[in-house]
Amino acid sequence: MASIDEQCEIILGPGNEVTDVPQNERLLALIREAPVWGTEKVLKLSQFLQGYPGTLSTGKHVALVALAMQAGPPSAQLSLFDYQSVNWWEEFFESVESGGEDKGEAEDENNNRALVAGNNPAARENVDTALLSFQIFYRRVPVNGIGLFVETFVPVGVDQAQNARHFILGVAPALS
């Protein structure tokens, strides 16, 4: 079982994102090395998570995303479209499009308008295109005696190692 130096605390950003800081180098390496789970295993964990009210929403989220990604882009677009109204999506796609650079307030505001379409059919096409530009993977990363359950967002068509974003959703039992 892999371990992380007990002297180093894991540094997390908003949403439990594993940030790219020196303290997290070992954890990020372990995440990249851990095998990606297939849909069947993700759905099995989803059922496990839905067994308690405190983790019910995480279990439903994981099931929705796993099935949508398995079904392919059109289904993923429809299933995940409601997520686009959350400010996080705006920042995520802006970050991907800018390569992590700050483009300035005026340009950011224009990008926000394009990404936050709401129910406006004319603007929805921009959001649909954005939703096609990423994949989501799940994996269990054994660290210091527990299995971290990690959700990874990977923009399509970019260097995955540099642009993937990893979020710790909780802990996961070892599943066969």
DSSP string for the chain: -B---TTSPPPEEGGGEE--SGGGHHHHHHHHHSPPPPHHHHHHHHHHHTTSGGGHHHHHHHHHHHHHHHH-HHHHHHHHGGGGGSHHHHHHHHHHHHTT----HHHHHHHHHHH--TT-HHHHHHHHHHHTTEEEEEEEEEETTEEEEEEEEEETTS-HHHH-EEEEEEE-----
**Residue 123 predicted with pLDDT over 60:** no
- Alpha carbon distance 117, 119 (integer Å): 6
Global pTM value: 0.69
- pLDDT (tens digit per residue) in 79-92: 665 554 455 556 65
**pLDDT confidence tier of residue 129, bands split at 50, 70 and 90:** low
Mean pLDDT, to the nearest integer, of 95-114? 47
Say what the pLDDT of residue 9 is.
84
Mean pLDDT, to the nearest integer, of 103-113? 43
**Residue 134 predicted with pLDDT over 90:** no
Say what the pLDDT of residue 120 is.
47
List Cα–Cα distances, 33 to 76, 90, 99, 100, in angstroms.
26, 29, 24, 24
- pLDDT (tens digit per residue) in 26-45: 999 999 999 999 999 999 99
φ and ψ of 119, to 5 deg:
-100, 15
Mean pLDDT, to the nearest integer, of 150-171? 82
